[in-house]
Amino acid sequence: MPGPDRSIEKRFESLRQHLKRENPVLLDAVGGFQQLDQIGYTTHLLEPDESYSTQIPWWPLISILGTFSAGKSSFINSYLGSSLQQTGNQAVDDKFTVVCFGRENAGKVLPGLALDADLRFPFYKISDEIEKVAVGEGRRIDAYLQLKISDSEVVRGKILIDSPGFDADEQRTSTLRLTDHIIDLSDLVLVFFDARHPEPGAMQDTLTHLVQDTIARPDSNKFLYILNQIDTASREDNPEDIVGAWQRALSQKGLTAGRFYTIYNKDVAMPIENEGLRRRFEARRDRDLSDIEERIRQVEVERAYRIVGAMEKEAYFIRDNAIPKVASLRKQWSRSVLRSDFILAILLGLLALLGGIAAFGPASVLGLLLGIVTQPASLLPLLGGIVVLILVLHFLVKYLVQKRIVRQLRHSDDEPYTGAFIKNSGLLSSVFRSTPVGWNKSTRSSVVDVINHSSEFVQKLNDQFTNPSGGPVDHDLGQ
């Protein structure tokens, strides 16, 4: 039975050891993903070096996106209580910086390869994705990513991502791909804008990509839009005009109320001499910062539900989307092969008939045909040769049709199904088989088991936070 290669097994063991220390409740989910992986290997939806568990981050992921010099790095430093990130008015870092906890190696900076090769992080094998959109760039993963270690307790059990300044007009396609990848995987996305640039209308492309394109997402509630460095507006005659201009710009892109915050870093803020104005600014800042920090804390709870949700979603996707798609591709291949066989048989028959008539005359050809019908044993060598020729042509047709469909898959959204299709359209594959290879009673049952296990897992999580029986409740998710 197909299975994972040794590297995947080692990574699962490493993941188990980390979860055992950090969040034992999630250990059951590891087994669920391993069961899904086995289904993927059996049906050839996965290669031996792939795993469904790598498609999600196992630690809460908070990403910080935004425009150049919007104070993203300063916010991270303030949140961590240390100067981990460089700050400045100009772009000081053109890489995505992943920040995670580590007491012994605090302050160390590791290359992007450390993220690309570790399935616990959201960038596992991201170099392959970069290579798809920018040939040759996948080998330069260190130019896009770096890992920094912090000993701040607030980041324990979490992953923070600081992005380079966002400029939709100038960024390379590969960097935009990374940005979209981060958005998809994040539990919480903080989008920063700079209050010192009071012309939001001049940033339409940025607003479109970071606001308009995210509003309609089913997980749009994970986006917080933050107008940073609002203290600079205190010297304006009417500081509320700046806030109002940004709110109008965001509302024009579809942003609804309740997710727009105004903050500033009190350690580097300019002094506000007007006492009443200062108190108003500080009260708004403290309230919004408190809300943001509470949302960050909340992702630790949401993370477990996200993981089990991803496991259940993947099980349904395999059953309801992936397998039917492979079956459809297999049916397309079978029909093309049978159609080609039929057309080829007619053409060969006509060519043989016309050639025989031209060479030996109608009477000889008719006599040969009658001999095949009345005395087939005497013509066994000839019949054997015909059968061999038909089989050779049939296998050739199978091969050519498979190659044609594979070329089409390579340039379409169905490219991930290429491996499974190849396994279902080999030379020895029957054109009359109706179900994909590996999809049988056992694999169907395994999918149902994972779906049922997901429901049980949700109930176990609910028991951590609800108290229907009136007994004591453990709110620490096993930590």
Model pLDDT for residues 15-36, shown as the tens digit of each residue: 888 777 767 777 888 889 999 9
Instruction: Provide the CATH number for the domain formed by 7-321 in this structure.
Output: 3.40.50.300
Enter the DSSP assignment of 118.
-
Q: What is the pLDDT of residue 365?
A: 53
> How far, CA to CA in Å, does 452 sit from each of 32, 34, 198, 235, 459?
10, 15, 52, 60, 11
Dihedral of CA 294/288/92/165: which sign?
positive
Domain with CATH 3.40.50.300 in the chain: 7-321
Helix 27-42 and helix 441-465, axial crossing angle in degrees, nearest 10:
160
CA nearest neighbour of 98 among 163, 181, 188: 163
The tens digit of pLDDT for each residue in 97-149 reads 888 888 777 778 888 888 887 766 767 777 877 776 667 777 778 888 888 88
Q: What is the pLDDT of residue 328?
A: 95
Q: What is the pLDDT of residue 180?
A: 79
For the chain, the distance separating the N- and C-terminal CA atoms, rounded to the nearest angstrom, is: 37
What pTM was estimated for this model as a whole?
0.68
Flag residues of the chain having pLDDT under 70.
1, 3, 22, 86-93, 119-120, 122, 132-134, 165-174, 197-207, 209-210, 233-239, 254-258, 349, 351-386, 465-479
Contact between 84 and 150 under an 8 Å Cβ cutoff? The reply is yes
